[in-house]
Amino acid sequence: MSLLATSSHQERIEQLPGHRAVLARDRPLRLSSGADLSPVTVAYQTYGRLNAAKTNAVLVCHALTGDQFAADTHPVTGKAGWWSLMVGSGKVLDSDRLFIICANVLGGCLGTTGPADLNPETGEPWGLDFPVVTMTDMVEAQRLLLDHLGIDKLLAVIGGSMGGMQVLEWAAKYPERVGAAIPLATAPHHTAQNIAFHEIGRQAIMADPDWQGGAYFRSGKKPRRGLAVARMTAHVTYLSEPALHRKFGRRLQDRKGLSFGFDADFQVESYLRHQGKSFVDRFDANSYLYITRAMDYFDLAADYGGKLAAAFTESPVRFCVASFTSDWLFPTAEAKRVVHALNAAAADVSFVEIDSDKGHDAFLLNEPELHATLHGFLSAQCERNGIPTAPLAPIDDTEIGETEERVT
């Protein structure tokens, strides 16, 4: 574990590698809730170089607990970035040709303004005084960043899960600024079941006495147990029964028989406990509350009179929608809602369903068919925009090993 984990939040943020832009200083960011936020700091990472015409920029939107470190060593965990299989030289998002931007979302805890940062009015961390943010607000913060970087039009915007929601929001709100939109393992709204799982996570955090009404920064004690339980619940929803079975089955952990107690007898229990524990070192409990809320509130059709197709009327954007057969959190039926709406708008859409038993997290893992289709789609997008293309480089076996554990 890095030294960063032992410092205060503000000190940690100051030490993070990568870029930070302070935005919305003159004109506050008006949030969906009506609240104004000023200034807004956005932390981001870039890979590759922006060409002179500024036509090769790709925005990568991260999932719930992801961050801007898509393809480089994570400063807190020391592990490879969450999308290092997809972003880099010779990969689907080829840093030799493209300029890849990944920003921490609004409400996050790794450098972009969020509830762990100082409220300029009080000089104390925001805690629950931080205004509730939405997917629209997250995209607005990203838009401010693009304005700051002088990028008028993205070659593509891509992301999975919550990142896919941002992709849909981008395409609907700013079609003239998006060449291609690639929403993966996502939905046009968060379903009742998804909201239910998030509520369990939030209740676990808020039931932890160390949460202290969100003001845990005062005592220095964090709601570690609550956040770990939230993580464990969510983690199960990202996997599939076949993947869990393959990995653990009903095998026992370091013992010959059952303990007839409540220790972690089974390997799967021990695994979940480990996932929960390691998560609290890199994520802020209040950020978890805010970001899950933003996902729950997401309902793209609602912003267009209840008609999803209206979000994409006359859209010039090329879409590539992808889902996975074993994803029960964002199943193919949800992706097809988007596809039907795009058909109804006569939009340029491709839709692939990838046969995978790895569950929701498949979009982060080594799925050669996904990589091949995205590479083909993006190559066509590059050709249309006069950007050179190259064949996909084979993935290094050692990288696959590292990413077996990858969960957003």
Contact pick of 80, 236, 380, 395 for another protein (by CB under 8 A): 380
Contact pick of 37, 101, 349, 387 for another protein (by CB under 8 A): 349
Contact pick of 1, 3, 22, 346 for another protein (by CB under 8 A): 346
- Rounded to 10 deg, the angle between the 285-297 and 192-207 helix axes is 160
Helix and strand counts by DSSP (H, E) for the chain: 11, 12
Contact 237, 161 (CB under 8 A): no
Which residue in 235, 360, 361, 375 is the catalytic one? 360
Of 278, 230, 314, give the one whose Cα is nearest residue 406. 278
Angle at 78 between CA 58 and CA 369, to 5 degrees: 45
Site for another protein contains 267 (CB under 8 A)? no
Site for another protein contains 158 (CB under 8 A)? no
Contact pick of 354, 364, 365, 387 for another protein (by CB under 8 A): 354
| Residue 235 known to be catalytic | no
Alpha helices in 48-207 (DSSP H): 135-149, 162-173, 192-207
Contact pick of 352, 362, 364, 365 for another protein (by CB under 8 A): 352
Piece of 2-10, 61-69, 348-356, 394-402 that binds another protein (CB under 8 A): 348-356
Site for another protein contains 40 (CB under 8 A)? no
Comparing CB distances to another protein, the nearer of 139 and 374 is 374
Cα distance between residue 142 and residue 138, in whole Å: 6
Contact pick of 97, 224, 293, 375 for another protein (by CB under 8 A): 375
Residues 6+ apart with CB under 8 A from 176: 153, 316
- The sign of the dihedral angle between the CA atoms of 69, 71, 75, 80 is positive
Piece of 41-49, 69-77, 284-292, 374-382 that binds another protein (CB under 8 A): 374-382
Piece of 19-27, 70-78, 196-204, 341-349 that binds another protein (CB under 8 A): 341-349
SS3 165: helix
Contact 195, 303 (CB under 8 A): no
Q: Provide, rounded to whole angstroms, the least separation between the CB of residue 370 and another protein.
A: 9
Draw the binding track, 284-323, toward another protein (x: CB under 8 A; -: no contact): ----------------------------------x-x---
Site for another protein contains 239 (CB under 8 A)? no
Q: Provide, rounded to whole angstroms, the least separation between the CB of residue 355 and another protein.
A: 8
Cα distance between residue 270 and residue 273, in whole Å: 5
| Residue 375 known to be catalytic | no
CB neighbourhood size of 115 (10 A): 26
| Residue 161 known to be catalytic | yes
Site for another protein contains 369 (CB under 8 A)? yes
In the region spanning residues 321 to 340, those forming contacts with another protein, defined by CB under 8 A, are 339-340
Contact 335, 319 (CB under 8 A): no
Q: The tokens of 366 are what?
A: 């080594």
Catalytic annotation, residues:
161, 327, 360
Contacting positions for another protein (CB under 8 A): 318, 320, 339-340, 343-346, 348-355, 369, 372-373, 375-377, 379-380, 383
